[in-house]
Amino acid sequence: MSARSSRAERAAVRAGLALAIAACGVLASCRHGGENARRGDPLRVAAAADLALAFKDVGAEFERTTGKHVEFSFGSTGLLAKQIEQGAPFDVFAAANIAFVDDVVQAGACDGGTKQLYAQGRIVLWSRDAATLPKGLEELRDAKYAKIAIANPEHAPYGRAAREALRRSGAWATAEPRAVYGENVQQTLMFAQTGNADVAVVALSLAVVSPGSYVEIDASLHEPLEQALVVCKGGGLGPKTNEARSFVEFVGSPPGRAIMRRYGFLLPGESAPRP
């Protein structure tokens, strides 16, 4: 082999090594950038409609203390559960009834080991006018309440509790023909706020922050509304497990509980804020 060809081969090897090193640097940069992009993704939380105001404050405090941004999607618990089972990209699910959490866990979409109770839901009768507020469910037999708003009991836990309480009180038979159904408990409250219903059966958590008057409904008239949240798998987009766990833990922490109590999300033994 000539000296000239040997030098040419060495030069080719050096050029190849340089290209390989450059390629590795690009790949490492891309990989690092991808990881940063994933870390920069917001935490996505699907939550029952009545959590909208409370979770706005919870999310702001969580972001302040952790630096992690949270995006919320609020709606009917039953509809959100179906979306999660079908692969919707949520990292946490906060349900108005623990049964829906059990459903998404059973479907393999969420981690049952992270399930945590955040409240025991309570329902109230709400009216924008104190003079027309019934003292109890039995008064809804009166035809003067031409429209009675409840959330759709087919997929809204608060609607299911409202229907159950009306049945046990003996008022359902006469009230059902006058019932108007909200897609979720927030829309149900809106019907009464806008005058499209005379009275609404809604969550205590909405009533305590809404101008108007309310009276609590005896909790023994319906099955307990145990409310829980759980870490989910992000719809296959890559679970943010540690961040999601941190959010669930924050909701149950002293700062989180202080916010939740203020909005009427009470655990057994906690008392409701007064109107």
pLDDT digits (tens, 9 = 90+) for 212-227: 999 999 999 999 999 9
**Span 170-198, average pLDDT:** 96
pLDDT of residue 77: 93
**Span 7-12, average pLDDT:** 44
Q: Same fold for the domain at 41-120+224-262 and the one at 123-216?
A: yes
- More confident site: 35 or 146: 146
Helices 98-106, 77-85: inter-axial angle, 10-degree rounding? 10
Q: Where are the domains of the chain?
A: 41-120+224-262, 123-216
Distances (CA, A) of 72 to 28, 43, 94: 33, 8, 10
- Lowest-pLDDT range of 88-102, 145-159, 234-248: 234-248
In the beta sheet, which residues pair with residue 150?
181
- List Cβ neighbours of 239 (8 Å cut-off, separation of 6 or more): 91, 231, 232, 233
Q: 161 and 135 in contact (C-beta within 8 Å)?
A: no
Widest CA span in the chain: 110
pLDDT of residue 112: 94
Short-list 53, 51, 107, 43, CA closest to 77: 51
**Span 126-150, average pLDDT:** 96
Predicted confidence (pLDDT) at residue 118 exceeds the cutoff of 70: yes
Q: 167 and 156 in contact (C-beta within 8 Å)?
A: no
Predicted confidence (pLDDT) at residue 27 exceeds the cutoff of 50: no
Q: Is CATH 3.40.190.10 the classification given to domain 123-216? A: yes
C-alpha–C-alpha distance, residues 167 and 221, integer Å: 8
pLDDT of residue 239: 61
Predicted confidence (pLDDT) at residue 33 exceeds the cutoff of 60: no
The CATH number given to 41-120+224-262 is 3.40.190.10
Structure tokens at 169: 């009180």
pLDDT band at 25 (very low <50, low <70, confident <90, very high): very low
